[in-house]
Amino acid sequence: MRERIEAALRKTIEVHQGLIGQSALIEEAGRRLADVLAAGGSIYVMGNGGSAADSQHMAGELVGRFLMERRPLPCHALTTDTSVLTAVANDYGVREIFARQVAAYVSKADAVVGISAGGNSPNVLAGIEEARRRGALTIGLTGGTGGELAKACDLAIVVPSSETPRIQEAHGTVIHILCDLVEQSLFGHAGRQQRPPSGA
């Protein structure tokens, strides 16, 4: 068991080191998200399973706070309204659960972030396709070869791993970096206040 623990930790470190080569792309994604918010737009995030949790995590950091005391930022996880999700799934199919919400809420002033470990989740792809039709900025967080999501988005950050747990861990790190970049871009002049250790 100890060998498995150490192997998992080494793999996590290796995957994160592989992301360093995408630092310029992550920087661009953070800058463009900050530009959307500065211009009065909103961010919408979507994914399935663990990626749904990541979507909600990102919304929580931006609506609440990441590291700085500042105004709340409009970031919406399209994974949380069970009445909408089940109604759309029942009437139109699971593939449409995000696309239908994107059609209802998103404009060209907004950004849509799709999260999929393999990059081929049909409902995430449908949501991104609808976002592109509406002229919104599209950003993908994926892994492995990037799948169809990497091809469909304006910007795609592809975690260099084929293991879903390692990809999801790296997505969490990327989300934290993006939140930090957004805060620094919009509020850096106001000074930094660290989140207290008791924070969630």
Domains in the chain: ranges and CATH: 2-187 (3.40.50.10490)
Question: Could you tell me the CA-to-CA distances from 96 to 37, 48, 58, 128 in Å, in that order?
Answer: 26, 13, 22, 11
Q: Please tell me the predicted confidence (pLDDT) of residue 193.
A: 57
- Chain segment 66-105, per-residue pLDDT in tens: 999 999 999 999 999 999 999 999 999 999 999 999 999 9
Q: In what order do the strands lie in the sheet with 75-77?
A: 75-77, 43-46, 111-115, 137-143, 155-159
Where do we find the tokens 């759309």? Answer: 88
Query: Given this model, what pLDDT does residue 107 score?
Result: 98
Nearest residue to 116 (alpha-carbon basis) of 154, 63, 56, 157 = 157
What per-residue string of b and e applies to 15-29 under the rule 16 or more CB within 10 Å gives b?
A: bbeebeebeebbebb
Chunk the chain into consecutive blocks of 10 residues (it has 200) and report each block's average pLDDT, rounded to whole numbers. 94 95 97 98 98 98 96 98 98 98 98 98 98 98 97 98 96 98 90 53
What is the structure's pLDDT at 194?
A: 57
Tokens for 40, please give them: 């009065």
pLDDT of residue 199: 54
pTM (two decimals) = 0.93
> Residues 189, 160: contact at Cβ < 8 Å?
no
For the chain, the distance separating the N- and C-terminal CA atoms, rounded to the nearest angstrom, is 29
Burial (CB count within 10 angstroms: exposed 0-12, middle 13-18, buried 19+), residue 71: exposed
Region of residue 72 (phi > 0: left; psi between -120 and 50: alpha; otherwise: beta): beta
DSSP class of residue 39 equals T
